[in-house]
Amino acid sequence: MAQSNRDGFTSSFGVLVATLGSAVGLGNIWKFPFLTGTNGGAGFLLVYLAATMLVGLPVMMVETMLGRTARANAVTTFEVVAPPGQGCWKGIGWMGFSAALLIMAFYSEVAGWIYSYVFKSLSGEIATVDPKAAATAFAGLVSDPVSSLVWQWVVLCVTGGIITLGVSKGIEAVARKLMPLLFVLLLVLCGRSLTLPGAMRGLSFLFEPDFSKITSGVVLTAFGLAFFKLSLGMGTMLTYGSYFQGDQNIPATTTRVMLADLSVSLLAGVAIFPAVFAFGFEPAAGPSLVFMIIPAVFTSMPGGALFMAVFFVLTAVASIGAMLSLLEVPVAILSERYGMGRKRASALTIVCIAVLGVPASLSQSLAAKFTIFGLNSFDLFDFLSSNILLPLGGILICLFVGWVYGLPELEKRLSNEGTLENRRLIRVVFFLVRYVAPLSIAIVLLNGLKLI
Ligand code: TRP
């Protein structure tokens, strides 16, 4: 069912940039700092690192490999690669379909906050280093139902518009141009943050682990973040893999993406935490953290308002790369399996997300009273997708590759039919995927949900 005339990335460098564009997003700038803050700092970072290296990276390799082998969307891929009679594996693709919608429902809301902060940077409304004033400014945005909804819809229209342009033209072109700039601005932010009086306390929060803070819930969140960061467990990497070139070195490419993504997260951490302590903010502030700290750091430097606006523009662009990759999962499924044009498939997906996004964007205003297990709809969508669906998808993909697909096929595919000298590496990957990853994710998941 794989189509021969599928659109694809046009060069090996394009593959790297687009994949990185999927990984780098609000996960680095918003989620990584706020979760590190709420989960106690360095200890969380350590668990996150271990999860990324031992579980995330191997899952990323096999996910892209499956997509490239089948050259199809997340559902069809499993029909192609699974042995006859085992069509049930395509359930992984459908799980990914639902996870994509769920993630987009809250992700587009956070992106909306970023868009609105571009304008607020220029108007001076958020230019403050005072924790109380910063919290009030942020609350003013999220507790206003109209602006929350409108910004989310702006985000969805922009992203939906880009996706209808097609894979190589849309995603590649956007991703390629602007990522390096974001990196430079993060470096500037780090420089300013590190030279604030009292900056060292932030660094020790980030790098000196306090192991007593590592609970089962913290470990589950760290695993969830590792999946979220590298866009794993729901078919994004699988779908992107299907656009990879045949001679792409998958282990090398995915390792580079992982390292670059990690550097961006660490830079964001170093930009944020020294300032948190220097200005007397609360590290465990939650999702509002970066929306208070980034303005504070920029406000304390010359020309801050303009730099701040540019920073939020670049973050908005980074979020587009990530959202395009999320949308690509349902859009590819709908267009390839149901013969829908890309335009119609994109429009349908966007409308579903807009509907699902309403409770998320109203979760701090009109819908604040609706909570399940003590979580409002925004937090619930995040928890369900990041901490449950992604790890679960990860387990299933590992079980499939480790126990059904098998080593000989994996070797053939990851070595590009023997043209790459990476046998030993592939064996390590296979071991991780067959035993280490599924077992550790399962334990973390059951333990984190208090089921064992
Ligand atoms: N990795 C992206 C970020 O950090 C978010 C993202 C894109 C994602 N595609 C995904 C998360 C697929 C989970 C699954 O912002």
- pLDDT for the residue numbered 373: 87
Mean pLDDT of the region 396-419:
97
pLDDT at 418 > cutoff 70? yes
7 band by pLDDT with thresholds 50, 70 and 90: confident
Interval between CA 307 and ligand 1 midpoint (Å): 26
The 10s digit of each residue's pLDDT in 28-44 is 999 999 999 999 999 99
Q: Under a CB-based contact definition with an 8 Å cutoff, are residues 305 and 125 in contact? A: no
Mean pLDDT of the region 79-91:
96
pLDDT at 147 > cutoff 70? yes
16 band by pLDDT with thresholds 50, 70 and 90: confident
2 band by pLDDT with thresholds 50, 70 and 90: very low
Kindly give the number of the ligand 1 atom that is closest to the alpha carbon of 25: 15
Which of 19, 20, 22 most suits a substitution to test ligand 1, by most atoms within 8 Å of the C-beta? 22
Interval between CA 124 and ligand 1 midpoint (Å): 31
* Ligand 1: residue whose CA is nearest its atom 7: 322
Higher per-residue pLDDT: 9 or 263: 263
pLDDT at 171 > cutoff 70? no
Q: Enumerate the β-bridge partners of residue 371.
A: 376
Mean pLDDT of the region 338-344:
91
pLDDT at 4 > cutoff 60? no
Interval between CA 180 and ligand 1 midpoint (Å): 19
Give the pocket of ligand 1 (CB within 6 Å). Answer: 22-23, 25-28, 103, 228-229, 231, 234, 236, 322, 325-326, 390
Q: Under a CB-based contact definition with an 8 Å cutoff, are residues 189 and 311 in contact? A: yes
Interval between CA 84 and ligand 1 midpoint (Å): 32
274 band by pLDDT with thresholds 50, 70 and 90: very high
3 band by pLDDT with thresholds 50, 70 and 90: very low
pLDDT at 1 > cutoff 80? no
In this prediction the pTM is: 0.95
Mean pLDDT of the region 279-297:
96
> What distance in Å separates the CA atoms of residue 372 and residue 356, rounded to the nearest whole number?
16
198 band by pLDDT with thresholds 50, 70 and 90: very high
Helices 304-337 and 12-23: crossing angle in degrees, nearest 10, is 110
The 10s digit of each residue's pLDDT in 388-406 is 999 999 999 999 999 999 9
Mean pLDDT of the region 142-161:
94
Interval between CA 319 and ligand 1 midpoint (Å): 9
Share of the chain above pLDDT 90, in %: 84
- For 31, the token pair is 């989620």
- pLDDT for the residue numbered 367: 87
Smallest CA-to-CA distance from 357 within 28, 29, 112 is with: 112
- pLDDT for the residue numbered 172: 62
pLDDT at 295 > cutoff 50? yes
pLDDT at 262 > cutoff 90? yes
> What distance in Å separates the CA atoms of residue 119 and residue 300, rounded to the nearest whole number?
19
> What distance in Å separates the CA atoms of residue 302 and residue 264, rounded to the nearest whole number?
24
Q: Under a CB-based contact definition with an 8 Å cutoff, are residues 54 and 68 in contact? A: no
> What distance in Å separates the CA atoms of residue 10 and residue 173, rounded to the nearest whole number?
11
Mean pLDDT of the region 281-306:
95
Kindly give the number of the ligand 1 atom that is closest to the alpha carbon of 386: 13
- pLDDT for the residue numbered 170: 57
* H helix intervals, 82-215: 91-123, 131-142, 145-163, 173-194, 199-207
pLDDT at 210 > cutoff 60? yes
> What distance in Å separates the CA atoms of residue 385 and residue 101, rounded to the nearest whole number?
9
